Amino acid sequence: MRSSRSSLPWLSDHMARALAAMSPPLRKKDVFQAADELTANTKPIQVIRHLLPRGADLMQARTVVEALRALRDIAA
């Protein structure tokens, strides 16, 4: 698991922190892990399922995944 900087060019440390802050109790490392999963072509529903046990509710998890997908798609 990642703790600070992302190796993904489209996800900054600041953006990961902001997404985590919008979706407590998620942490920045949870956002980085979700981004890694999306980059590995994991289906969005599977990424959402991985965020739920970390304390996010369904709407929070969905919001984070949608934001990550949009950031990834814009950078492509």
pLDDT digits (tens, 9 = 90+) for 6-55: 678 999 999 999 999 999 999 999 999 999 999 999 999 999 999 999 99
pLDDT for 2 equals: 43
Higher pLDDT, 67 or 6: 67
pLDDT for 5 equals: 53
pLDDT for 76 equals: 82
The pTM of the whole model exceeds 0.85? yes
Higher pLDDT, 76 or 36: 36
Q: Tell me, what DSSP letter sits at residue 4?
A: S
Task: Burial-class residue 59 by CB neighbours within 10 Å (0-12, 13-18, 19+).
Answer: exposed
